[in-house]
Amino acid sequence: MREHGAWVKIGFDRMALDLKRRAEELHASRS
């Protein structure tokens, strides 16, 4: 189960980075 938790964390971190990048691109295109 510990390995599964690690994969979930990796996926979550990657998703968070992707969302952050998209938010920054939106902000840059607006200004």
Each residue of 1-31: pLDDT tens digit?
678 899 999 999 999 999 999 999 999 999 8
pTM over 0.85: no
- Residue 22: what pLDDT? 98
- Residue 4: what pLDDT? 87
Q: How far is CA 15 from CA 3, 18, 20, 29, in A?
A: 18, 5, 9, 21
Token pair of 18 as six digits: 């992707």
Give, rounded to a whole angstrom, the gap between the first and last alpha carbons of the chain: 45
